[in-house]
Amino acid sequence: MMKKLFFILIIIVCLLRITLITFEKSTYYEEEKSITGFVTNIKEEKDKITFDLKDNNNKYRVTLKDKCEFSLGDKVLVNGKVYTPYNNTIFNLFNYRKYLLSKGIEYAIKPSYVKVIKENENFFYNVKNQIIRRIDNYKSKAYLKTFVLADTSLLDEKTKENYQLMGVSHLLAVSGMHVSIILLVLNFVLKKFKLKNIIIFLFLLFFLFLTNYPESLMRTVLFLTLKYFNKKFSVNYKHENVLVITGCFLLLLNPYLIYSVGFLFSFTISYFIILVSKKIKGNNYLVRLFMISLISFLASVPIMAHAFFKVNLLSTIFNVIMVPIFSFLIFPLGILTFFIHFLDEIFFCFIEILESIVNFLSSFDFFIIILSKPNFIFIFLYYFSLYTFIKVRKEYILIFIITFLLNVNSRFFINEPEVVFLDVGQGDSIIFIYPHGKTIMIDTGGSYNDDYSIGKEKIIPYLNSLGISKIEYLILTHGDADHMKEAVTLVNDFKVENVVFNNDDFNDLELNLIRVLNEKEISYHQDVKELNVGNDKLYFLNDMIYDNENDNSNVIYTELNGFKFLFMGDVGTKVEEYLLENYNLENIDVLKVGHHGSKTSSSKEFIDVVNPRYSVISVGKNNVYGHPNDSVLDNLEESKIYRTDLDGSVEIKLTKNGYKIRTCGPYE
């Protein structure tokens, strides 16, 4: 009884600590200043370099575009804008601020000037710098950095994505499996040493420092330490209880670890593996591996759904294939290659074979299912039924299966329409979600950076987070890149059933999209007057042809539960005059402001008639066009204005009795 009370008390303390610190650090901060500190971590990626800077009070994340001229442990001076990192601005997606907090980093810096004040004199950083320089001379350095330094930044993004799709990305994270192999070797080498345990413990501490304290490794080292003392002093806590103490202790040190996907994976999967370990002890290796892989998969489903919104039903099989390859070949050979340089070519050949296998297996994507982001009730029921099934009663598997199926089909439980204005920077993207998950999208947005895809990074993950796997109609207001550049990405990587263009001649972007539509046999339409979606209709009001792309935008009007919406595309004042002459557009509830708030649109005459209750301006933060224009903001002053650069995405949920509006701003 005392043990249970002890665990409950620890958990309550952790939750209180998380709540208090989150409240204390919820305000936004920005200031130009100079920071002097020591470099504790450096990551070189394809288009940038990030490093962590630690002074006496805080830890900062600094991003550079140029090559860095310093090493770990160097004391450097950084001038620049110190600011609180932004939260996600699209609902349900990755929160960069919380991620940095889980790493103990509260502020970021946009540097204007970086200077080395004093070179490193720390022995441990010297060793780490030597290891980094040694690895940089290897052909197989991407995997050596992964195994020795827990740094996956050199791995190809597509390769990492394939590991994740297969459900085996844990093999790239230094964790219990890797430590167990290292401990096996150390125990063999040091078996005659009296101070064997102390030497192993000191090595694990150094390995933690070397790998920059990843959550999975901290869990492993602390758990092994507590387990050793638990046995030595005959406390007799069960292993699962030792794991709970380990997790609570780490949360007390850094409560923001609760935001770390690695932390959640590591503890949840380890907990359930411990629960079943005794039951599978007598079986052969492959049976044990299959059972551990299966329970790991089942334990990870809510976390996968929460973070990535999809799971691969074949991941148990893939783990049975890949775990022995990594355990007996890739990881041991990688460590051996680090010490014996001439093995590099051999190791690199094995890596190429490995990645060919990964590319092949990850192509079986028809076993990947979409899971909406789970709520607390789903998570509780899921883990309660899984725990009870393992520990107590087998019939609880029924609750487990029902809970899982409800989440997979969550889109069918949407019973009221929603309209979401996504923050896609300087562009437009609006999503209609009708009852039972039927989805229409107006515009896709489009970054001018060819290396970044808004569709792949933001739009598709957001749709997946709602359990939505297809778009019935993709409506493109016109052919400008900031409205339709991501259409090809959506058509290639998502299921789109129909595409609607505006009425003028096709430009190069539209012709390229049409080529893809023809290849995939997807229907597309022009000159649409009305679109029926169940009992609702979308009316296309702009049926004239003008001499510019913006004025030829589709202008769309619809009513949902008596709520009037008007979407203006990028049309200017000339089209606004035509609309006022031909349609009754008085007292619109929600106006999607034309052309991102440009002064060429939203004339006072038009706004006075439309008289919107709410105005939404889709606009990029600090955009070069100066949108929205001050005169437009003055014209809209009688309405409640939402701006995606300030408020993030805007969601309007409609009910028979009213509506709810919420935002997903960078500072919330």
Q: Which residue has 């595309």 as its token pair? A: 569
Give the C-alpha separation, 295 to 386, whole Å.
9
CA 368, 370, 376, 381 torsion-angle sign: negative
Q: What is the pLDDT of residue 117?
A: 94
Mean pLDDT is lowest, of 259-263, 282-286, 521-525, 526-530, for 282-286
Is 80 exceeded by the pLDDT of residue 289? yes
In the predicted structure, residue 40 carries a pLDDT above the cut 60: yes
- Residue 49 and residue 67 in contact, taking contact as beta carbons nearer than 8 Å: yes
Q: With 60 as the cut, is the pLDDT of residue 129 above it?
A: yes
Distance CA 445, CA 485 (A): 6
- Enter the DSSP assignment of 648: B
Residue 1, token pair as written in the block? 């009884």
> What CATH superfamily classification does 412-664 receive?
Ribonuclease Z/Hydroxyacylglutathione hydrolase-like (3.60.15.10)
Asked if 435 contacts 417 with a C-beta cutoff of 8 angstroms, the reply is yes
Query: Quick one: pLDDT band at residue 116, thresholds 50, 70, 90?
Result: very high
pLDDT band at 11 (very low <50, low <70, confident <90, very high): low
- For the segment 253-269, the average pLDDT, to the nearest whole number, is 89
**What are the extents of the domains in the chain?**
27-120, 128-373, 378-408, 412-664
More confident residue, 458 or 234: 458
Three-state DSSP string of 594-610:
HHHHCCCCCCHHHHHHH
Mean pLDDT of 365-381: 83
Q: Are 299 and 316 in contact (CB under 8 A)?
A: no
Phi, psi of 627 (to 5 degrees): -80, 145
State yes or no: pLDDT of 610 exceeds 70: yes
The three-point CA angle 88-89-91 to 5° equals: 85
Q: Which of 268-272, 549-553, 639-643 has the lowest mean pLDDT?
A: 268-272
pLDDT of residue 489: 94
Q: Phi and psi at residue 557, in whole multiples of 5°?
A: -120, 140
Q: Binning pLDDT at 50, 70 and 90, where does residue 471 land?
A: very high
Residue closest to 561 by CA, chosen among 587, 535, 593:
535
Q: What is the pLDDT of residues 193-238, one digit of tens each?
A: 878 888 888 999 999 999 999 998 999 889 888 888 877 776 677 8
CB atoms within 10 A of CB 57: 8
Kindly tell me if the per-residue pLDDT of 415 is higher than 50.
yes
What sign does the CA torsion over 173, 174, 176, 180 have?
positive
Question: Which run of H or of E encompasses 591?
Answer: strand 590-592
Q: What is the pLDDT of residue 413?
A: 66
Mean pLDDT, rounded, of the chain: 89
pLDDT surpasses 90 at 367? no
Q: What is the mean pLDDT of residues 437-456?
A: 86
Rounded Cα–Cα distance for residues 246 and 244 (Å): 5
Determine the Cα–Cα distance for residues 285 and 36; give it in Å rounded to an integer.
53
526-585 pLDDT, tens per residue?
A: 989 999 988 889 999 999 899 899 999 999 999 998 999 999 999 999 999 999 999 999
- State which H helix or E strand residue 59 sits in: strand 59-64
- pLDDT confidence of residue 435: 85
Structure tokens at 451: 């290396």
Mean pLDDT of 629-642: 96
Instruction: Supply φ then ψ for residue 112, to 5 degrees.
Output: -105, -15
Of residues 7 and 504, more confidence is placed in 504
How do strand 590-592 and strand 563-567 relate by DSSP bridges? parallel
pLDDT of residue 396: 61
Q: What is the mean pLDDT of residues 436-444?
A: 90
Find the mean pLDDT for residues 483-503. Answer: 95
In this prediction, residue 1 carries a pLDDT of: 47
Higher pLDDT, 513 or 11: 513
Residue 21: band (very low, low, confident or very high) from pLDDT cuts 50, 70, 90: low
pTM: 0.91
Q: Are 579 and 551 in contact (CB under 8 A)?
A: no
In the sheet with 470-475, reading across from the earlier edge strand, the strands are: 523-525, 495-500, 470-475, 439-442, 430-433, 418-421, 649-655, 658-664
pLDDT tens digits, one per residue of 336-361: 999 999 999 999 999 999 999 999 99
Banded pLDDT at 376 (limits 50, 70, 90): confident
Domain 27-120 top-level CATH class: mainly beta
In this prediction, residue 411 has a pLDDT band, given cuts at 50, 70 and 90, of low
pLDDT above 90 covers what percent of the chain?
61
pLDDT the model gives residue 225: 87
